[in-house]
């Protein structure tokens, strides 16, 4: 089964080569046929000229003199006279005057004899001697005198030269065919590559555009062709996408901002109410639980605002060198407290200083969110380990647990905002933790990878570029 090439370039080359092959084959066939026909016509013309000259001579009575053999030889040369010409009587028998016994005979077909009786010439292709592979053209002419056929003159000429010329041409064409095909395939490949080079550039540029950097555009080819139009259309689409992304981001920032004040007021009023001695115990219980919810909402609003300011690069301070090992050290006590409350063991491995450029409060959130998740989702008795090392010019932070793991289909969506694997079972979170982690990683120009096996645990691996001074040290 023929497999279609998967690239447009491959398909264009295949078409190009296919069409050129078909044209080459047609051209070859036509030239072989035309050459064959032309050469055969030449042979027939020569036969006609020779045959008519003989028939004319035979008509003269003086032709059959005593030295007839000599005159034939002087007329047509020994070759023709001996082998390719004969004189027959009207019934097709050798004329005894010019046919010494033992001379080889040219064949006379029934059709040729019949035609000769009627005074008509016949042209045939025969094999001589019969059964061999040597083809001859045979002209059988009647020599007429006074309206009656007096003699029959068969004249033959070898087709050897015609066949040789035809097979040489065919051989040359067959030898040339693979070379021509290879050259045309290479040419096709080269042309397709040149024509499609702007597509590759556009693909590369489009690949670099992500939701977070929609401000980038696809470079439009300088020509005014279809590809330039495609680039323009794609860029228009990106423009619209960017506008709607910015609007959506702005909306969530605005909404979070609007929620901030009423939540603060709500929290303040609840705390005042709780402090009042008159509130009955039932109401107090409800107020405490409401306060917890308000705190959760406050946290959510703060996360949303933080994320919005990171995504629009609107952080108030410039980045500065941060020692990640110190960040881990700072997070360790809170994490071990959380872990012991959850009945887990958490270990933050001590590490030598690793300097990255960024924001210490955000990097703290990054470590904390990842480790908090690991502690939260690992059943009691689990083990959580946070490690930091320097590898190939990058800081590598890993948060490992031996918890339930994350299913492959969930792994793709886990960093989306508000995505939770099982909202019914999972408690307090709201699905923003990992989205925030990803935003922090992107802000620090790093990468985050998750490897997880269901039932065996998860490992979040964050790679961050080192601070320039640390990297060159
Ligand atoms: P949440 O605030 O609900 O924890 P996250 O964005 O932090 O939201 O996490 C999204 C989902 O990823 C969680 O609902 C949880 O199912 C899953 N998850 C995150 N970390 C782990 C982990 N270490 N082990 C298992 N599941 C995890």
Q: pLDDT grade, residue 104 (50/70/90)?
A: low
Statement: residue 43 has pLDDT above 70: yes
**Contacts of residue 8, Cβ cutoff 8 Å, sequence gap at least 6:** 192, 196, 199
Cα(374) to ligand 1 centroid in Å equals 8
CA quadruple 338, 341, 344, 348: dihedral sign: positive
Mean pLDDT value across residues 257-281: 89
Statement: residue 227 has pLDDT above 70: yes
Q: Which of 128-137, 179-188, 192-201, 363-372 is predicted least confidently? A: 128-137
Closest ligand 1 atom to Cα of 373? 20
Across 104-140, b (16+ Cβ under 10 Å) vs e yields: eebbbeeebbebbeeeebbbeebebeeeeeeebbbbb
User: What pLDDT is stored for residue 395 in this prediction?
Assistant: 95
Residue nearest to atom 13 of ligand 1 (CA): 420
CA distance 401 to 373: 10
Mean pLDDT value across residues 37-59: 85
Statement: residue 383 has pLDDT above 90: yes
Cα(329) to ligand 1 centroid in Å equals 23
Query: pLDDT tens for residues 73-101?
Result: 666 665 555 457 777 888 877 776 665 54
Q: Which of 279-293, 397-411, 419-433 is predicted least confidently? A: 419-433
Q: In what order do the strands lie in the sheet with 394-401?
A: 345-348, 383-391, 394-401, 457-465, 447-453
Mean pLDDT value across residues 231-246: 90
* Helices then strands, each counted (H, E), the chain: 11, 10
Cα(309) to ligand 1 centroid in Å equals 23
Where do we find the tokens 């693909």?
203
User: What pLDDT is stored for residue 66 in this prediction?
Assistant: 55
User: What pLDDT is stored for residue 254 in this prediction?
Assistant: 92
Closest ligand 1 atom to Cα of 374? 23
**Contacts of residue 13, Cβ cutoff 8 Å, sequence gap at least 6:** 5, 185, 188, 189, 192
Measuring from each residue's beta carbon to the nearest atom of ligand 1, which residues come in under 6 Å? 373-374, 377, 401, 403-404, 406, 414, 419-421, 426, 429-435, 458
DSSP run (H or E) holding 323: strand 320-323
Mean of all residue pLDDT scores within the chain? 86
Q: pLDDT grade, residue 103 (50/70/90)?
A: low
User: What pLDDT is stored for residue 168 in this prediction?
Assistant: 94
Query: pLDDT tens for residues 6-26?
Result: 788 888 889 999 999 999 999
Q: Which of 128-132, 318-322, 378-382, 443-447 is predicted least confidently? A: 128-132
Cα(373) to ligand 1 centroid in Å equals 6
User: What pLDDT is stored for residue 57 in this prediction?
Assistant: 77
Residue nearest to atom 23 of ligand 1 (CA): 374
Closest ligand 1 atom to Cα of 421? 16
At 279 the three-state DSSP class reads coil
CB 129 within 8 A of CB 113: no
Residue nearest to atom 20 of ligand 1 (CA): 373
Statement: residue 60 has pLDDT above 60: yes
Closest ligand 1 atom to Cα of 436? 6
Q: pLDDT grade, residue 262 (50/70/90)?
A: very high
Q: Which of 34-48, 79-93, 358-372 is predicted least confidently? A: 79-93
User: What pLDDT is stored for residue 406 in this prediction?
Assistant: 94
CB 388 within 8 A of CB 349: yes
Q: pLDDT grade, residue 282 (50/70/90)?
A: confident
């Amino acid at each position: 089964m023929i497999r279609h090439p998967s690239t447009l370039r491959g398909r264009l080359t295949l078409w190009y080569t296919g069409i050129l092959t078909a044209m080459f084959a047609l051209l070859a066939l036509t030239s072989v046929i035309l050459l064959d026909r032309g050469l055969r016509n030449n042979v027939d013309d020569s036969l006609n000229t020779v045959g008519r000259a003989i028939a004319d001579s035979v008509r003269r009575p003086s032709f059959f003199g005593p030295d007839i053999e000599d005159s034939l030889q002087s007329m047509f040369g020994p070759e023709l006279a001996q082998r390719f010409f004969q004189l027959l009587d009207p019934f097709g028998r050798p004329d005894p005057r010019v046919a010494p016994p033992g001379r080889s005979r040219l064949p006379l077909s029934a059709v040729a004899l019949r035609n000769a009786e009627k005074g008509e010439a016949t042209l045939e292709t025969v094999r001589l001697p019969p059964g061999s592979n040597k083809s001859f053209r045979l002209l059988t002419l009647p020599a007429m005198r006074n309206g009656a056929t007096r003699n029959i003159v068969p004249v033959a000429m070898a087709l050897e030269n015609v066949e040789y010329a035809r097979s040489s041409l065919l051989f040359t064409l067959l030898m040339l065919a693979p070379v021509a095909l290879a050259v045309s395939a290479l040419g096709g490949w080269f042309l397709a590559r040149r024509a499609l080079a702007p597509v590759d550039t556009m693909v590369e540029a489009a690949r670099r555009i992500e939701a977070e950097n929609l401000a980038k555009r696809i470079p439009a080819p300088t020509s005014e062709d279809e590809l330039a139009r495609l680039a323009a259309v794609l860029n228009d689409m990106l423009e619209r996408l960017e506008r709607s992304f910015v609007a959506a981001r702005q909306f969530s920032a605005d909404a979070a901002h609007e929620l901030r004040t009423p939540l603060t007021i709500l929290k303040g009023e609840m705390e005042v109410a709780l402090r009042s001695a008159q509130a009955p115990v039932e109401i107090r219980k409800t107020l405490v639980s409401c306060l917890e919810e308000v705190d959760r909402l406050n946290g959510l609003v703060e996360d949303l605002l933080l994320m919005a300011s990171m995504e629009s690069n609107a952080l108030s301070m410039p980045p500065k060198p941060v020692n990640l090992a110190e960040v881990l050290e700072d997070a360790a006590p809170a994490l071990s407290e959380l872990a012991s409350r959850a009945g887990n063991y958490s270990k933050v491995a001590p590490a030598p200083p690793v300097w990255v450029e960024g924001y210490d409060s955000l990097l703290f959130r990054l470590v904390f969110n990842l480790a908090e998740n690991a502690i939260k989702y690992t059943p009691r008795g689990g083990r959580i380990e946070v490690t930091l090392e320097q590898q190939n010019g990058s800081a590598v932070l890993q948060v490992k647990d031996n918890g339930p793991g994350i299913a492959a289909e969930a792994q793709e969506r886990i960093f989306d905002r508000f995505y939770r694997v099982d909202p019914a079972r999972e408690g307090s979170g709201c699905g923003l933790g990992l989205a925030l982690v990803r935003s922090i990683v992107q802000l620090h120009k790093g990468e985050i990878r998750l490897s997880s096996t269901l039932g065996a645990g998860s490992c979040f691996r964050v790679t961050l570029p080192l601070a320039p001074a640390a990297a060159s040290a």
